[in-house]
Amino acid sequence: MEVCTRRCMPEERRMQSKDLPKHYDPKQTENKWYQFWLDEKFFHADANSKKETFSMVIPPPNVTDVLHVGHALNNTLQDILIRWKRMQGYETEWLPGTDHAGIATQVILEKKLVKEGSSREKLGREKFVQLAWEWKKKNGNAILNQLKKIGCSCDWDRTRFTMDEGLSEAVLEVFVHLYNKGLIYRGKRIINWCPRCQTSLSDDETEREEKDGHLWFIKYKLKGSDEYITVATTRPETMLGDTGVAVNPKDKRFEKLVGKSAILPILDRELLIIADDYVDPEFGTGMVKVTPAHDPNDFDMGVRHKLEKINVMNPDGTMNENAGKFAGMDRYACREALVAELKKKKFLEKIEAYKVAVALCYRCGTEIEPYLSEQWFVRMEPLAQPAIEAVKSGKVRFYPERWTKTYMHWMENIRDWCISRQLWWGHRIPVWYCQDCKEIMVSKTAPSECGKCKSKNLKQDEDVLDTWFSSWLWPFSTFGWPKKTPELERFYPTRALFTASEIIFLWVARMVMAGYEFMGKEPFSDVYIHGTVRDDHGIKMSKSLGNGIDPLEIIDEYGADALRTTMMLVTPEGADTLIAKKTFEVGQHFANKLWNVSKFVMGNLPDGITPEVEATVGLSLQKLEDRWILSRLHRTINDVTSFMDNYRFNSALKTLYDFIWHDFCDWYVEMIKQRLNLPEGENDKATAVQIAHLVLNHILRLLHPFAPFVTEEIWQHLYKPDRQNHDTSLLTAKWPVSASEMIDEKLEDTLKRVQEVVTSIRNIRSEMNVPPVKKADVLIRVDNPDLVQVLEDNREHISILGKVEKLQIGRKIAKPDHSASAVIREAEIFIPLEGLIDLEQERKRLDKEIQRINQLLEKINKKLSNEDFLRRAPKEIIQKEKAKRDEYSRMIEKLIQHSEEILGW
């Protein structure tokens, strides 16, 4: 029989609603509700549903990743958005997955093999790749499981991996398509080479660093003369590969030398002196050596002037046979030996200190060597055009807006993308070479014979594709592309993408390009760029500095909601998050505050309440505080929703926090406590209960995206929903809608007046050291007759909340002797102190306090008049001391005022 079980068991329900445990314990809560949400398939999106769509794809973490605060921030933001959209009634898809992370994974495995006394080479390609798959199966999902601890409501049924079958198919499709279109080519170019990882890297995979280096001035003899010219270089070892010397064509000093030859010291090679616009006459001597095989700009000059390219290095960073007697030496050892020899033979003119910009491998930190090698490239310029248009026209928008400039600058100066990597773990390049006639075949499947000479002697390219070559397809490959699936039809384009600024080029820009090239549409419309998580000194968290925060440790200690809300509360939009471990107490206290007020409200609720509450009751309410809290609630709903619409999560949660903590807990609940203690039916007690429930119900809905666990726990205790019902979970409850007619500006101001009076009374009491149990007489002199009425109407609230014995409100009130006072808008407040505190003792206490602070002030004044200190101390320290001095002066002023009031002035 279908009956509402709630109404049938009022006694039990009442007991249950009161059984909210004394303290909130995240450990008893989080796993339980997460499993429940999973079991109910709440995170899974139906591609055939009739609802409007809201979809996102996760920035896939690397399979090698262990959850750090950066992930926690990134994924909390996404989860807040998707939970909010789900509550707004959208069919929400948040697709999760991982990236195979070519270099990162290979580096881990190589290290492991070395430890075991083996190596990648010893194992061979096939076995190594097999090992990598085994490693991935065993460890690759760790990060996804950690995301579940944070509460991420991803559609786990659709979890993808950049090397799974479907995505690999997409990669091949794209390679063949671009090759056939003439956008993929093979070429000998200078690329970034990591001698340790022994692979090429794209520009964006290197980190630029400025360091102290030198400028070596080396003398080259002019051919057939005893004269010398001098060139300056920051990398002397590369001179062994010099094939020219260049000057600027406008540089009058060297006009006569162009076309002549110089002799390379030590190797005695003849170098042509050329004129090229690239040369900066201001750098060094205005004459530079040209090394086409070891510098990208020299490479270009070499092409322009048909100079020879001589590679002097091995792939591992040692010198090769072209380096003459330096062959076999490491590049740095060679530099030292070469400079010593130049000095000995008097070719070294001088050495100057010089700041050099070096590029480092983003995986291992080894200094990058610009290196000449055969690689595959994507011609980017044609792909960039629609991606530039998309941002110009606003189809793709950045939040905060300033990142548009960064994106545009890169796009308008885009360079070809080197996509081949000398690794084994990744998508192998689908190119086969005929060993007999050198024909090149590009195909999704291995060809059985050469298309030209029918030879069966074919060899596949040894290299794999850059990891980003699969992740730039992520927004559509994950939904089944190149197949036309219902998911692709339904969930592409996605709406929002959350990421850090470091990968705007590596990933965001390339996804936009791929989206237009292969889907004809932008992959997402909103790009939210969040900041970096730093420690409370503003220093980026890192393993080596040991200043990192482990999100799992935070969850263990404070709870996942505390992790989430704290990060949101301390992160202004688009700025960096500065956080210390202790900061997470903020979120923990917030959860506890919510817990306690829920417990209080629930203790007063009648039987049989349901989650469907009407939020627009109240226009006819009698009590000021009832109408006021509803006005505040609707204003909060309105503000939070509009902040969320603009990705301003920090402002949204702050607004909500203030409403819950101050408006609801500090004021409304305190104001209705008296009414709740009355017998049923008196002084509109039922309304107070009803409104308190209504507000709590809405608070839980509004807070759920930010703090999903504690809100669900309270919701379940509150309503004990039977599982057949649609209100099974807060997760699927409706997001509140604000009713503008409920917002009453004037009413809110009226109550603010009452709050000002109460706050002021409380301040005086605390400053004058009035014992908390003692009630005080209060006199309020008011200038404005309307305010008299407002305060009279709220006499009871003021008396109770301000602990007032006798309250006088009026226009003609004189200040009593021995009384403390305060001034607020249009009114003055007096509290007679006689009988309230021991005047004599209080005066003595104040005198002592004045003396104590005076001494502190003197010390600081001495310090601040010390010339030596002022000269040596850092500016911030001096500023701090000055601020302290001002604060002490203010305190003394205030204490003197109190002391005078006691004396009866």
The contact set with Zn ion (CB under 5 A) reads 194, 196-197, 361, 363-364, 366, 434, 436-437, 439, 450, 452-453, 455
Reference 192, options 407, 412, 362; nearest CA is 362
Distance in angstroms (rounded) separating the CA atoms of residues 574 and 666: 31
Q: 788: helix, coil or strand? A: helix
In terms of residues, how long is the chain? 905
d(CA 213, CA 103): 29
Helix (H) or strand (E) holding 701: helix 685-703
Contact yes or no for 240/311 (Cβ under 8 A):
no
Tokens for 461, please give them: 């390219």
Residue 280 Cβ vs Zn ion, minimum distance, rounded to whole Å: 30
Closer CB to Zn ion, 100 or 627, in the complex: 100
Q: Could you tell me the smallest distance in angstroms from the CB atom of residue 391 to Zn ion? A: 33
Is there a contact between 213 and 257 (Cβ–Cβ < 8 Å)?
A: no
Of 8 and 437, nearer to Zn ion (C-beta) is 437
Closest C-alpha among 107, 118, 61 to residue 362: 107
Residue closer to Zn ion, measured from CB, 360 or 563 = 360
Q: Which is nearer to Zn ion, 436 or 756 (CB)?
A: 436
> Residue 567: which residues within 8 A CB-CB, separation 6 or more?
69, 72, 73, 76, 533, 577, 579
Between CA 71 and CA 541 the distance in angstroms is: 13
Look-up of token digits 């050469």: 450
Residue pair 587/562 in contact (Cβ under 8 Å)? The answer is yes
Strand partners, 313: 319
**Shortest separation between residue 198's beta carbon and Zn ion, angstroms:** 8
Shortest distance, position 186 Cβ to Zn ion, whole Å: 17
Q: Which is nearer to Zn ion, 194 or 691 (CB)?
A: 194
Query: Least distance to Zn ion from the beta carbon of 433, Å?
Result: 9
Task: Write down the least CB distance from residue 434 to Zn ion, Å.
Answer: 3
Q: Residue 261: helix, strand or coil by DSSP?
A: strand
Question: What is the Cα–Cα distance from 66 to 145, expressed in whole angstroms?
Answer: 10
CB-wise, 452 or 752, nearer to Zn ion? 452
CA within 13 Å, CB half, 392: 10
Q: DSSP alpha helices (H): ranges in 531-581? A: 551-558, 560-570
Nearby residues of 208 by Cβ (< 8 Å), 6 or more positions away: 357, 358, 359, 360
Q: How far apart, in whole angstroms, are the C-alpha atoms of residue 86 and residue 694? A: 21
Check residue 892 and report its DSSP letter.
H
Select 173 or 439, whichever has its Cβ closest to Zn ion. 439
Least CB distance to Zn ion at residue 453 (A): 3
Of 361 and 633, nearer to Zn ion (C-beta) is 361
Q: How far is the CB of 440 from Zn ion (least distance, A)?
A: 10
Half-sphere exposure in the Cβ direction for 91 (13 Å, CA): 13
Q: Which is nearer to Zn ion, 437 or 539 (CB)?
A: 437
Q: How far is the CB of 35 from Zn ion (least distance, A)?
A: 41
CB–CB of 158/487 below 8 Å?
yes
Of the two residues 137 and 438, which places its CB atom closer to Zn ion in the complex?
Answer: 438
- Compute the distance between CA of residue 333 and CA of residue 323 in angstroms, rounded to an integer: 13
**CB 209, min distance to Zn ion, A:** 14
Q: Angle between the 26-39 and 551-558 helix axes, to the nearest 10 degrees? A: 110
Closer of 45 and 194 to Zn ion (Cβ)? 194
Between 456 and 483, CB nearer to Zn ion: 456
Q: How far is the CB of 363 from Zn ion (least distance, A)?
A: 5
∠ Cα 411 194 357 (to 5°): 60
Pairing relationship of beta strands 533-534 and 526-530 according to DSSP bridges:
unpaired
Nearest approach in angstroms of CB 519 to Zn ion is 34
